[in-house]
Amino acid sequence: MKEEPNLQEMVETLRAFLITSDGLWFTKVEEKHGFEHALELDIEVWTTFATLASRKILEKLNISSRDAEAIARTVSVKWRAEGWEFQEVSTSEKEAVIRVTKCPWREAMVRAGREKLAPRICDEVCTKIYEAWAASINPRARVEKKKTKAFCEFVFSV
């Protein structure tokens, strides 16, 4: 009988393929329709994903509140699944601050030699993803993204 693969190794492999497939999809659209169109479609896809995923995670975690803490909890589930490194700086009903020290999506852009595009993609796509994520949980939610050389900080407020 064959030995079963290690589940954690399989999760990491599938995580890598998720990020790779997103990059491949983006570059293929870019080749055929240009960077601006690829970016526009990427934002549409990922904001729709954010709305669907945030609601499903709320449901799976049985979270009934719609405050900043709920937004932070659901975002952290996504980020752990994708391999982000982050820490919650502060969390309350009104505001949650999360500091990201490692983003697998940015790392993939660097590995692909597309580091010059990372600031624009991170600013436009990432910001819109988490605005859609937060708004699907609480339409009054606001997201502020602060960037330094060492980390990104997301501030979710309601």
Helix residue ranges per DSSP H, 2-138: 7-33, 35-60, 68-82, 104-111, 118-121, 127-137
CA distance 63 to 120: 33
Per-residue pLDDT of 120-129, as tens digits, reads 888 899 999 9
Domain assignment of residue 65, yes or no: yes
Please indicate, yes or no, if residue 104 is contained in any of the structural domains: yes
**Better pLDDT: 8 or 139:** 139
Q: How many domains, in total, are found in the chain?
A: 1
Looking at the domain assignment, is residue 84 inside a domain?
Answer: yes
Mean pLDDT score, 68-96:
95
57 inside domain: yes
Q: In this predicted structure, what is the pLDDT of residue 60? A: 96
Q: Is the dihedral of CA 12, 156, 90, 64 positive or negative?
A: negative
Structure tokens belonging to residue 28: 């293929």
Task: Evaluate if residue 1 carries a pLDDT over 70.
Answer: no
Three-state DSSP at 149 gives coil
pLDDT tens-digit series, residues 19-61: 999 999 999 999 999 999 999 999 999 999 999 999 999 999 9
Structural domain boundaries, residue 109: 43-157
**Does residue 13 belong to any structural domain of this protein?**
no
Average pLDDT, the chain: 93
64 is a domain residue:
yes
Q: How confident is the model at residue 144 (pLDDT cuts 50, 70, 90)?
A: very high
CA distance 20 to 109: 10
Q: The domain spanning residue 97 has which CATH number? A: 3.30.1380
Of residues 42, 52, 63, 65, the one with CA closest to residue 133: 52
82 is a domain residue: yes
Q: Which of 4-8, 75-79, 112-116 has the highest mean pLDDT?
A: 75-79
Question: Tens digit of pLDDT for each residue in 58-76?
Answer: 999 999 999 999 999 999 9
Is residue 15 domain-resident? no
Q: Which residues contact 38 (CB under 8 A, 6 or more apart)?
A: 26, 27, 29, 30
* Helices (H) then strands (E): counts for the chain: 6, 4
Residue 92 has pLDDT above 80, yes or no: yes
